[in-house]
Amino acid sequence: MNMLARTLVCATSVIATAVAWAQIDDEEDFDEAIDSEEVAVEEDESISSDDEESASGTTAGEKAKEKSVKVSLDKPFTLMPLCRLLEGEGEVRRPGAKEWMPIEEGRFYPLGCAYRTIGRDSRMSIQFGEGSEVSVSGSSSFSTFPQKIGDKSRAIALESGAITIKLPRGVGSGMFSVSAPGFTVENLSGDSRYTYRKTGDGDEAVVRCITGAMSIKGRHFDISRMTVANEIRIRTSQDNLFTGLFGISGDVIVKLDQGLVAVQDFETKEFRDEPQFLDWHLSPKTAVRIHRAMPEIGERMSVTVMTFDTNEELQNRCSFSEGRSGVNTGEEGAGVLAKRDQDAAKKAAEAAESISLEEGDEEEEDEDSGDESSSYDEDDSSSDGDDDEDLF
């Protein structure tokens, strides 16, 4: 009896174990089926997404490329510039140093360094990031500026020679700038070229936009946009009292400062000072000349802005004192200037005519006085003859 009971218990346990294993197998099969279905769904979704990409003409590789480009444009520059190329002789001057040292190709240098090439056949390229570099050739030089921590922008200063800058077309506004004593080039994108030299009384720079766009700002002038093939020459005196803009290629709009003008509000009848500007089309062989002078009394600079056409004839002129609306001649266009010249010529002719008339009157008076004196002499002589006859 006991044996039978033990046998039944063992059989029951074996059956329960078998049922449990069967359930486990079924669950594993079910999980595997679920996993397989999920994989199939994922495969279907991937296939459908691939179909959508193929239909839209965008592949996964292109998306990855766009993503990488976007990331590179968000951070277009490396922490330190790299000397990517050196042919011939090149040197670097580190921040705070006075002496130049030979530069090494493939080495990184901190911001604040100055770079130069020596010799007509020398070339050097300093890479600021992927697709961003500054190249110099011949006897040329430029310097970089140290940036604050977290500042992603980069800036260089022109020093001498021929300098070419290459930047991505989609680089953000304000990310790269080029400076010289009389102006600053901002919002660069694409390729640009600069030729810079010191003159006896200042400096001269030729700025050319090869691809992309740029803007130029200086004292009393602003060029909001230069595009492909636009080229200008900028001359600045050593004391910054003269700036000359000369068109070389393309048509560039220059916004010229014409000082402050007092404008009355129609409602309040109050006057307020507003800046006034002139938009001048700087085309080839036209020019803008800006003259400045410090007054003997006070600190407000006197400014005269003039524009000239291709025949070097004056077209516009405006003289003003910085920050003072009460000292401003206003726009003196070609018509105003021509009328003023005509009025001056007319006044000069009238003055000359009046002088000639006065001289003629004086001559007539002299002739009249001469006639009177001769008649008096004749009377005197006749009276003397009568007296003689009486005596004899």
SS3 annotation, the chain: CHHHHHHHHHHHHHHHHHHHHHHHHHHHHHHHHHHHHHHHHHHHHHHHHHHHHHHHCCCHHHHHHHHHHHHHHHCCCCCCCEEEEEEEEEEEECCCCCCCEECCCCCECCCCCEEEEEEEEEEEEEEEECCEEEEEEEEEEEEECCCCCCCCCEEEEEEEEEEEEECCCCCCCCCEEEEECCEEEEEEECEEEEEEEECCCEEEEEEEECCCEEEEEECCEEEEEECCCCEEEEEEECCCCEEEEEEEECCEEEEEEEEEEEEECCCCCCEEEEEEEEEEEECCCCEEEEEEECCCCCCCCEEEEEEECCCCCEEEEEEEECCEEEEECCCEEHHHHHHHHHHHHHHHHHHHHHHHHHHHHHHHHHHHHHHHHHHHHHHHHHHHHHHHHHHC
Contacts within 8 Å (CB) and 24+ apart, 384-389: none
Cα 259 vs. chain centroid, distance in angstroms? Answer: 21
Q: 367: exposed, middle or buried (C-beta count within 10 Å: 0-12, 13-18, 19+)?
A: exposed
Amino acid at 166: K
The pTM of the full predicted model, rounded to 2 decimals, is 0.68
Look at residue 23 and tell me whether its pLDDT is greater than 50.
no
Q: Show Cβ contacts of residue 332 under 8 Å, excluding neighbours closer than 6 positions.
A: 316, 317, 318, 340
Residue the block writes with tokens 């909001």: 224
Are 280 and 318 spatial neighbours (Cβ–Cβ below 8 Å)?
no
Average pLDDT over residues 301-330: 92
pLDDT in tens, 343-358: 666 676 676 667 666 6
What pLDDT was estimated at residue 337?
55
Task: Using pLDDT thresholds of 50, 70 and 90, give the confidence band for residue 336.
Answer: low
Phi-psi region of 330 (alpha: psi -120 to 50; beta: other; left: phi over 0): left
Look at residue 242 and tell me whether its pLDDT is greater than 60.
yes
pLDDT in tens, 128-175: 999 999 999 999 999 999 988 888 899 999 999 999 999 998 887 889
What pLDDT was estimated at residue 13?
47
Determine the Cα–Cα distance for residues 117 and 10; give it in Å rounded to an integer: 96
Look at residue 96 and tell me whether its pLDDT is greater than 70.
yes
What pLDDT was estimated at residue 330?
80
Residue the block writes with tokens 């979704």: 45
What pLDDT was estimated at residue 122?
97
Are 153 and 134 spatial neighbours (Cβ–Cβ below 8 Å)?
no
Task: Using pLDDT thresholds of 50, 70 and 90, give the confidence band for residue 359.
Answer: low
Nearest in space to 93 (alpha carbons), one of 124, 114, 123, 108: 114
Look at residue 57 and tell me whether its pLDDT is greater than 60.
no
Domain ranges of the chain: 80-337, 342-392
Look at residue 9 and tell me whether its pLDDT is greater than 50.
no
Task: Using pLDDT thresholds of 50, 70 and 90, give the confidence band for residue 361.
Answer: low
More confident site: 35 or 174: 174
Determine the Cα–Cα distance for residues 276 and 172; give it in Å rounded to an integer: 30
Determine the Cα–Cα distance for residues 71 and 171; give it in Å rounded to an integer: 11
What pLDDT was estimated at residue 355?
66
Q: Show Cβ contacts of residue 361 under 8 Å, excluding neighbours closer than 6 positions.
A: none
Q: Show Cβ contacts of residue 66 under 8 Å, excluding neighbours closer than 6 positions.
A: none
Annotate 291-304 with b (16+ C-beta within 10 A) or e (fewer).
Answer: ebeeeeeeeebbbe
Are 91 and 121 spatial neighbours (Cβ–Cβ below 8 Å)?
no
Q: How far is CA 248 from each of CA 60, 177, 252, rounded to the nearest angstrom? A: 46, 22, 10
Look at residue 222 and tell me whether its pLDDT is greater than 90.
yes
Nearest in space to 184 (alpha carbons), one of 260, 131, 243: 243
